[in-house]
Amino acid sequence: MSRLGDLGARLYRGEVGFDFVGRRKFWYGVSVLITILAFAGLGVRGLHMGVEFEGGAVFTTPPTEVSVEEAREVAEDASGSQALVQTLGDDGTMRIQVSGLDTDQSNATRAALAEELGIPTEELNAEVIGPSWGEQIANRAWQGLGIFLVLVVLYLAVAFEWRMALAALIALVHDITITVGVYALVGFEVTPGTVIGLLTILGYSLYDTVVVFDGLKEQTKNYTRQTRFTYAELANRSLNGTLVRSINTSVVALLPVAALLFIGGGALGGGMLNDIALSLFVGLTAGAYSSIMIATPLVADLKGREAEIKAQDRKVLAKRAKREEEDGEPEGAAGGGTDEREPAAAEEAAETGPAAGVGAAAGGGVRAPRRQPPARGRGRGRPQGRRR
């Protein structure tokens, strides 16, 4: 077994663990700092909306030897607006996009570009997009996002509980905010491809969160029938049990997206590839982070406010203090791991049911049966040899 596989097995069994839930205030602080930077980027630089949302003209040139910088200068001088120029292949074909142009301005810009490129005006394809069309796209995108979030909350509230639904919703908003903030800081253009990428990362982030919540639900289903771990410690154990799986799925998903962003979009000038790949890359990274560092700690905080959970936690801590006093040494449960002296017994105590929970309810662990000494006088007076 590889080292990563061995680590995953030990994390799942509770033999080792990282105290994510115990250090949740630190992760909350990191998320708040990143969110502040995202809002600062939105406030200072804003989003660079594409022509599909603001309206304008898109020109597609035939193969030409004119450079991208020269085409951009001509388009900006003729239109008086900022132009975005992208190459569409190795033969010199370009896509020139200028926002905020009406039909007359588009015709003037088209004539100036045709003259500079040295081609007939008819060979320069021009498409004028009105701002109302982009507004319809934006409205549909917001409606789809709102319906998606409502359905997600309802599903999680039914499948798990409302606290997990609330934590998942906060994690989703966290991922969207970070992705939009990075778009503002980088200055990439927001296109329909960006919207597609955002909707995709929401589904992926939700999938990772549901996997973690399923493990949490399984780990804490018999919480009140054991006295070894608090709810936060059991939540941390379940998170460690799915940690390697979450990391593996995130890395596997990020590798092709990174190739699309840095090779397809960066080195090869992929144009719209940048819009989709950047949103996917940032969103997948933020989703993996939020499902581990944000969602489960939030559930632990929300559940910790319940009267039943508070009472059980106090009972667990009181039992632990009593055992420490009797044993003369502290138990190793503060970080969500098991007691090194009997890891199997500790895990069985955490997941015990009504039939097997007698030992856990009494002393916080499963005790091994006592060995009876052999009867010394057993067999005396019996005849020796084979019976006939």
The mean of the pLDDT values for the chain is 75
Q: Per-residue pLDDT tens for 283-310?
A: 888 888 988 889 989 999 998 888 888 8
What residues contact 188, with CB distance under 8 A and at least 6 apart? 48, 194, 274, 275, 278
46: enclosing H helix or E strand: none
Alpha carbon 317 to its chain's center:
33
Contact 55, 100 (CB under 8 A): yes
Structure tokens at 285: 């990274």
Query: What is the pairing mode between strands 189-190 and 125-129?
Result: unpaired
Q: Per-residue pLDDT tens for 152-173?
A: 888 888 888 889 999 989 988 8
Structure tokens at 221: 């289903």
Q: What is the dihedral of CA 202, 205, 208, 210, to 10 degrees?
A: -50
Contact 265, 277 (CB under 8 A): yes
pLDDT at residue 60, as a whole number: 84
Contact 257, 178 (CB under 8 A): no
Contact 206, 195 (CB under 8 A): no
Q: What is the dihedral of CA 21, 322, 328, 336, to 10 degrees?
A: -10
Domains and CATH numbers, the chain: 3-48+133-303 (1.20.1640.10), 56-129 (3.30.70)
Q: What is the largest CA-CA distance in the chain?
A: 122
Contact 230, 317 (CB under 8 A): yes
pLDDT at residue 189, as a whole number: 76
What residues contact 293, with CB distance under 8 A and at least 6 apart? 20, 24, 27, 30, 31
The ranges of the chain with pLDDT < 70 are 1-5, 7-16, 89-91, 131, 133-134, 264-273, 328-388
Q: Per-residue pLDDT tens for 219-259?
A: 888 888 888 888 988 888 888 888 878 888 888 888 888 88
Q: How far apart are CA 140 and CA 146, in angstroms?
A: 10
